[in-house]
Structure 1
Amino acid sequence: MLKIENIVKQYADHRALDNVSLEVEKGCIFGLLGPNGAGKTSLIRIINQITAPDEGSVYINGERLNPAHINRIGYLPEERGLYKKMEIGEQTLYLAQLKGLSKAEALQRSQYWFEKLEMQSWWKKKVEDLSKGMQQKVQFVATVIHEPDLIILDEPFSGFDPINAEVIKNEILELNKKGATIIFSTHRMESVEQLCDSIALIHKSKKVLDGRLKDIRNSYRSNTYCIEYLGEEIKPEATELYEVVKSRNLEDTKEIVLKLRNGVKVNDALQYLLSVAQIQQLTEVIPTINEIFIQQVNGIDHA
């Protein structure tokens, strides 16, 4: 769907993007991650043709990025892009027509989304009269109303309470199910775990990690297991099988985290543990995307 090749963007003496390349598969939800100032917004602006790269190329469905692609992209910026004094209904109609819809189509789709997101009573309200979360709902409607093939969401949950965040999350999944490709830029790592198929991590203007979410998490597996058990405290005698990372007493049970020695299978350790304790639960410890994110960023910063 989207191919980015060797993008470089320089602002005076600051290099915002340094030879960044990545691919977004058609029909996926792609997480674009990175700390503030990493270069994510610069890349998003290039895809939206707000700015142009100094070097490199962007392709959509095999075609070099050009003005004709604008109407097939929906962009939800992190900052608000609404006219404060304009009525919500009028504004939605205006923005929909800018994306190529007729007035009749714009009205029909606006009414559909306003009803779907329970916004019917807002039609005559002005943006300045709405809360931050309400404004974000309006902006979300403006982003998707023309049914774009590529949807770019920059911190889409900003300003939402948990209930409305869940509503928008479900709408994102529904749009993806209907065929939209979605680029999702956020600092909320729990949202990445819930939504994204693939991710890329940008730090200090460079891409430092990318791939399918499941593959990345699996690459960080360390043969470590968390075991909840009953009985006497498990002692670290079986040093040929594992090393104890940590242990603690819970309310009704005990917990121990073990890292298996090289070549040791989990069944080998489990067989021994069953002889000395009553095992309630065994879970493999795989780092979350948030933990991988922090590890990668700290590793580069302290290199």
Structure 2
Amino acid sequence: MSGEIVLSVSQLGKSFKDKKIISDISFEVKKGEIMAILGPNGAGKSTTIRNIMGIMYPDEGSVTFAHYKSGSIPRHKIGYLPEERGLYKNVSIMDILMYFAELKDYPVAKAKKRALAYLSKFGLEGKEKTSIEELSKGMGQKVQFIASIIHEPELLILDEPFSGLDPVSQEVFKQEIKELANNGTAILLSSHQMNLVEELCDRLYMIHQGSKVVSGTLSEVKKEYANFKCTIHGDNEPALLEKIPNVLRIEQKGKQTILYLSAEMDIPKWVKQWPEGIQVEELSIDRTTLHEIFIQIATGTGTKEGVQDA
């Protein structure tokens, strides 16, 4: 990443009637970076994105895109995949892609070449004249994704890009998003699929009830919020496992046991304190997942000392 800031959101605030929807939302997205904006339903993610896109305007704060102020953001520099998909049903794939390219003032010949390359990459080769209504939901989503990047945007905003995709298509999208970032596109991504966010994103910004609750790199967030978790595969009696020190909670299912530990642990020293007789066929120790952190924070049971016992 070059460190060049492409999008800057500063102290954004928006109200509807007397209800504050978002307050003091501030973050940056840099060139070649994948930034996740997260939060439960109703947290304010869509409102934030709509303010960035100029679909609505903030009551407070500002959005700056590569030196352009709010209200004059150059649309041809931005790609947008909305959560609510929508393409003209009776139009062919190639015509709809050319239409989106034209909206962004992108050269037609160049757009057609890019369209054919992406159709081939996404398994839609030879379907240029197929109408949108003839496509499956997943294929239609691929076309809309291509439409959002056909004009080589500097900033790409993806709202739930993996929703409704099968695992193979998710993998295709993941690889393409990574490639776009590697080529310098700044990407702001919103998704409820935390496992994919963990795989893709450089940084994250979590909103809850309209305000920031977490931000930073994934490693920073995990260090600040995530407890350690030890998974043991072995035939062990609960009474023996309960003798292991510094365990907050034990989950046992068959031969698999998960021990939830505190955030600050001297792991090598802790393992030496185990009682004799613990059977270990496999063992792994890591931080709790982003999905678990998300659930705990959204439900108010997570703290900066680590995700707490639910």
For the pair 1:242 / 2:246, whether they are aligned, the reply is yes
Which residue number corresponds to residue 257 of structure 1?
259
Which runs of 5 or more residues in structure 1 are unaligned?
none
Match for 2:285: what amino acid?
A: E
Which residue number corresponds to residue 197 of structure 1?
202
Which runs of 5 or more residues in structure 2 are unaligned?
303-310
**RMSD of aligned residue pairs (Cα, Å):** 2.8
Query: CA 1:248–1:17 in 2, change beyond 3 Å: closer, same or farther?
Result: closer
SS of equivalent residue, structure 1 residue 125: coil
C-alpha distance in 2, partners of 1:221/1:54?
35
C-alpha distance in 1, partners of 2:280/2:164?
44
Which residue number corresponds to residue 149 of structure 1?
154
Post-superposition shift, 1:108? 1.6
C-alpha distance in 2, partners of 1:31/1:257?
29
Task: List aligned pairs for 1:49-68, cutoff 5 A.
Answer: 49-67=54-72
C-alpha distance in 1, partners of 2:287/2:227?
8
SS of equivalent residue, structure 1 residue 64: coil
Deviation string for 1:125-162 (max 9, x for gaps)? 22222221111111000001111111100111122222
For the pair 1:136 / 2:138, whether they are aligned, the reply is no
For the pair 1:165 / 2:170, whether they are aligned, the reply is yes
Paired residues of 2:11 and 2:62 also in contact (CA < 8 A): yes
Post-superposition shift, 1:256? 6.1
Paired residues of 1:260 and 1:266 also in contact (CA < 8 A): no
For the pair 1:297 / 2:298, whether they are aligned, the reply is yes
C-alpha distance in 1, partners of 2:212/2:35?
14
Identity within the alignment, %? 38
TM-score where L is the length of structure 1? 0.87
Paired residues of 2:229 and 2:261 also in contact (CA < 8 A): yes
Q: Name the count of aligned residue pairs.
A: 297
Post-superposition shift, 1:228? 4.1
Match for 2:292: what amino acid?
A: E
Post-superposition shift, 1:16? 2.1
C-alpha distance in 2, partners of 1:139/1:27?
22
C-alpha distance in 1, partners of 2:241/2:173?
48
Paired residues of 1:18 and 1:205 also in contact (CA < 8 A): yes
Match for 1:212: what amino acid?
A: T
Paired residues of 2:118 and 2:146 also in contact (CA < 8 A): yes
TM-score where L is the length of structure 2? 0.85
Match of 1:174 among 179, 189, 203: 179
Task: List aligned pairs for 1:97-112, cutoff 5 A.
Answer: 97-112=102-117
Query: CA 1:23–1:271 in 2, change beyond 3 Å: closer, same or farther?
Result: same
SS of equivalent residue, structure 2 residue 118: helix
C-alpha distance in 1, partners of 2:229/2:158?
35
Which residue number corresponds to residue 7 of structure 1?
12
C-alpha distance in 1, partners of 2:298/2:219?
20
Query: CA 1:227–1:119 in 2, change beyond 3 Å: closer, same or farther?
Result: closer
Query: CA 1:3–1:249 in 2, change beyond 3 Å: closer, same or farther?
Result: closer
